């Protein structure tokens, strides 16, 4: 991969991520975020599968995605912080996106990340909206999200920021581009369930996590409501409130033949076995 920006006297070389960076990107994201997946604005995004820019020698990473004529910065990390690497990545990304005809670059952050808010506001981003309680809702998809952020500030809300890349698109009060996406609540539950298994089993192979995040469990069971057996209480089954498939995306057993106590396997057990085979 050729460089996007040649290094100056102290600036790092910035280049597009290549196939050889896959393992490093996954590990780097886990070190920085606790997982390769990021939960924002009701979505579970696998940042390790996104286009990315790398600051050499692998001391920084920016992951992003195109959303029609706009783009979203999903993660931006530099080691060590404060060395100018994050700024170099951000500026290289905005130049690349601008040259590709992208009108705006968006990002989502939490209410407690004050240093990041200062960083982005000083680099051309403006506040678009605040979503009260959005982080609290995100914990339903990713329970590992902490409760407290910088300076002991409780994490509750999401902030959307926007930087204009095309001078003809100066309006920053437009809705974020992900609001135009078709939401699939079952798919979102499935991705959150896979992320929870990744943390609790734990699963080390990204392909196993992806399988649990994409294969519909309901296709291997009869129609709902379903009879559920919790590993925390194996004495008796209970019935889900409805036939909503989201009830299945927990680490529970689901009855196939209750009289014989024949169940669809416990997800964490199978995840552990599959992970050991890889």
Whether this prediction's pTM lies above 0.85 is answered by no
How far out from the chain centre does Cα 264 lie?
28
Q: Where in the chain is the domain with CATH 3.40.630.30?
A: 14-180
CATH top class, domain 14-180: alpha beta
DSSP character string of 201-239: TT---HHHHHHHHHS-GGGGS-SSS-EEEETTEEEEEEE
Q: Hunting for tokens 């600036």 — which residue is that?
A: 11
Answer yes or no: are the C-beta atoms of 13 and 6 closer than 8 Å.
Answer: yes
Q: What is the pLDDT of residues 175-219, one digit of tens each?
A: 898 876 546 788 888 888 988 898 889 898 888 888 898 899 999
Q: What is the pLDDT of residues 70-110, one digit of tens each?
A: 999 999 999 998 889 999 999 999 999 999 999 999 999 99
Q: What is the pLDDT of residues 159-177, one digit of tens each?
A: 999 999 998 877 777 889 8
pLDDT at 6: 55
For all residues of the chain together, what is the average pLDDT? Answer: 90
């Amino acid at each position: 991969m050729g460089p996007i920006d040649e290094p100056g006297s102290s600036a790092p070389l910035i280049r597009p991520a290549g196939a050889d960076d896959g393992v490093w990107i996954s590990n780097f994201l886990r070190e920085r975020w606790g997982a390769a997946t990021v939960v924002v604005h009701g979505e579970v995004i696998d940042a390790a599968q996104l286009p990315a820019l790398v600051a050499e020698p692998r001391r920084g990473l920016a992951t992003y995605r195109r959303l029609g004529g706009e783009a979203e910065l999903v993660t931006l990390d530099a080691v060590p912080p404060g060395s100018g690497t994050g700024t170099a990545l951000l500026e290289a990304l905005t130049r690349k996106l601008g040259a590709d005809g992208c009108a705006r670059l968006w990002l989502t952050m939490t209410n407690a990340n004050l240093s990041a808010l200062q960083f982005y506001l000083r680099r051309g981003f403006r506040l678009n909206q605040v979503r009260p309680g959005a982080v609290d809702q995100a914990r339903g998809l990713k329970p590992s999200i902490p409760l407290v952020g910088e300076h002991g500030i409780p994490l509750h809300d999401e902030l959307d920021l926007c930087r204009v890349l095309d001078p003809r698109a100066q309006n920053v009060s437009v809705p974020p581009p992900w609001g135009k996406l078709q939401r699939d609540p079952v798919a979102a539950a499935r991705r959150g369930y896979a992320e929870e298994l990744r943390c609790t089993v734990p699963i080390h192979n990204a392909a196993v996590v992806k399988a649990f995040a994409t294969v519909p469990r309901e296709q291997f069971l009869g129609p709902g409501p379903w009879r559920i057996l919790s590993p925390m209480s194996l004495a008796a089954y209970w019935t889900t409130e409805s036939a909503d498939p989201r009830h299945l995306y927990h680490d529970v057993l689901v009855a196939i033949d209750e009289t014989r106590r024949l169940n669809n396997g416990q997800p964490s057990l199978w995840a552990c076995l599959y992970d050991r085979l890889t």
